[in-house]
């Protein structure tokens, strides 16, 4: 990620980081830099892997997030502590679910079994929600609390 120095301070009203913090070796510095760019009443939305999730516990050391590309892993408490340390207050945290078309899941299952089909019926576009062990965190700069 490049430096945010070209972005003027107090000009950003919303920041979205979907599976970004997991990949940073120094997320605290990046969050500090982001906070300086944010305006009054701004928000940051962060999605990360949840190392305390049921999926992680079931898969144990086979959990896909355990890899070199993820030098940082979080749970709700560690995410909240890091955000607080960098000048943010958590507004809300919740587990997320991913939506998958049934046809996609069938195709992936068949491929995993060695059956390669290029086309699978779309089953009228039906989807399934699966909890894949991620956390969504919504936060605001702490300065917002003092300005209200």
90-108: per-residue pLDDT in tens?
999 999 999 999 999 999 8
pLDDT digits (tens, 9 = 90+) for 79-93: 999 999 999 999 999
Q: At what angle do helices 27-37 and 76-85 cross, to 10 degrees?
A: 60
Which CATH number is 62's domain given? Answer: 3.40.50.150
More confident residue, 4 or 48: 48
Q: Which of 66-70, 73-77, 79-83, 143-147 has the lowest mean pLDDT?
A: 143-147
Q: What is the mean pLDDT of the chain?
A: 92
pLDDT exceeds cutoff 70 at 144? no
Q: Residue 116 domain-assigned?
A: no
Please check the confidence at residue 148 and state whether its pLDDT lies above 50: no
The model's pTM is 0.83
Q: Which pLDDT score is estimated for 1?
A: 62
**How many domains does the structure of the chain reveal?**
1
Instruction: With respect to residue 137, please indicate whether it lies within any of the assigned structural domains.
Output: yes
Domain of 22 in residue numbering reads as 12-97+132-142
- Of all residues in the chain, the percent with pLDDT exceeding 90 is 79
- Per residue in 37-66, pLDDT tens? 999 889 999 999 999 999 999 999 999 999
Average pLDDT over residues 9-21: 95
Q: Is residue 114 part of a domain?
A: no
CB 145 within 8 A of CB 121: no
Give the integer Cα–Cα distance in Å for 3 and 84: 22
What integer pLDDT is reported at residue 117 of this predicted model? 87
Question: Does 21 fall in a domain?
Answer: yes
The rounded distance, in Å, linking the Cα atoms of 115 and 87 is 51
Quote the pLDDT of residue 76: 97
Which runs of consecutive H residues, i.e. helices, occur in the chain? 27-37, 54-59, 76-85, 102-112, 143-147
């Amino acid at each position: 990620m490049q430096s945010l120095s070209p972005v003027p301070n107090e000009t950003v009203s919303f920041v979205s980081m979907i599976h970004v913090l997991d990949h940073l070796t120094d997320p605290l510095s990046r969050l500090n830099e982001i906070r300086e760019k944010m305006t009054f009443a701004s928000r940051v939305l962060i999605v990360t892997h949840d190392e305390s999730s049921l999926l992680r516990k079931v898969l144990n050391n086979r959990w896909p997030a355990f890899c070199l590309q993820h030098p940082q892993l979080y749970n709700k408490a560690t995410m909240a502590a890091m955000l607080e340390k960098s000048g943010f207050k958590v507004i809300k945290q919740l587990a997320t679910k991913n939506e998958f078309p049934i046809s996609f899941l069938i195709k992936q299952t068949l491929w995993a079994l060695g059956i390669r089909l290029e086309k699978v019926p779309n089953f009228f576009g039906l989807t399934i929600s699966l909890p894949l062990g991620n956390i969504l965190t919504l936060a605001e700069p702490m300065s917002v609390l003092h300005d209200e």
